[in-house]
Amino acid sequence: MLRDLRCAGADFCEEIAGAQESTFSLVYEGEPRSRVIWETDGFRLIADLSPLSVGHLLLLPVEHYLSFAQLIEERGVELADVLESVGALYRATFGRLTVLEHGSSAAMKSSACISHAHWHLMPIDGNQVNSLIMADGLPPAALTDLKQLVPYGGAPYFLCGQQGKYYVYDGRRPMRSQYLRSIVGQVLGIPDPLFDYALVVRKELLRETVARTSGWRSILDGPR
């Protein structure tokens, strides 16, 4: 259990900036030494600190944005390149890929305190995720292009994407804490409240994820 978990938003910023001491370093104590899978000028791909499954990764921008909706205009081309590069490799390694985001806003008061934009990359069925979100009374809006996410910047939203198809949900309605993790928990058969990132850390899943992605950097960077 993470008893004194620091604000994950600030921690993201510090960790990707190269801080020697972070929540990750304190929890994993050098095993592994890093959870960074790959980096580009604008993005970092890292293993989730408290994964719900093997293959649970986070994609986050180096610069601080509240959501991907706020970065699309400036970083959309690079994001598309990252998704193309990582997507095929991710599916070859873990079987399938679904992208999830809880886009935050400056007005949000989240108990999870995660304000740095990040996408969850998970090897789960996005159709199941969408069905469960709709069952909670949140109708989806289909996006034919990620640029259509731009108007949602500044307001909370939920996003689910699979095989280039994205659905966005209005996140202004109060939902249960760690909502998307609770949805993923249902898909994976993880009972409430064991999806809570601070309650069960599942270190062995991160370590396996890092091991299975250890060769990605050389593939993604290509010949030098």
The model's pLDDT over 14-61, given as tens digits with 9 standing for 90+, comes to: 777 766 778 888 899 999 999 999 999 999 999 999 999 999 999 999
Give the pLDDT of residue 107: 63
DSSP string of 32-85?
SS--EEEE-SSEEEEE-SS-SSTT-EEEEESS--S-GGGTHHHHHHHHHHHHHH
> 3-class DSSP state for residue 161?
strand
Average pLDDT over residues 159-186: 95
**Which of 193, 224, 221 is CA-nearest to residue 38?**
221
Which token pair is 152?
A: 């949602």
User: Looking at the predicted structure, is the pLDDT value of residue 141 above 60?
Assistant: yes
**pTM of structure:** 0.91
Give the pLDDT of residue 115: 74
Q: Report the range of poorest mean pLDDT among 75-79, 96-100, 104-108, 148-152.
A: 104-108
Return mean pLDDT, the chain. Answer: 89
Report the C-alpha gap between 36 and 16 in whole angstroms.
Answer: 9
Query: ω before 32 within 30° of 0 (cis)?
Result: yes
The alpha carbon of residue 157 and the mean position of all alpha carbons in its chain are separated, in whole angstroms, by: 14
User: Looking at the predicted structure, is the pLDDT value of residue 11 above 90?
Assistant: no
Give the pLDDT of residue 116: 85
Give the pLDDT of residue 106: 64
Q: Report the range of poorest mean pLDDT among 107-116, 117-126, 212-221.
A: 107-116
| More confident: 141 or 113 | 141
DSSP single-letter state for residue 106: T
Given a contact cutoff of 8 angstroms between Cβ atoms, the answer to whether 40 and 217 are in contact is no
Give the pLDDT of residue 111: 42
Average pLDDT over residues 204-222: 96
**Which of 184, 19, 12, 217 is CA-nearest to residue 113?**
12
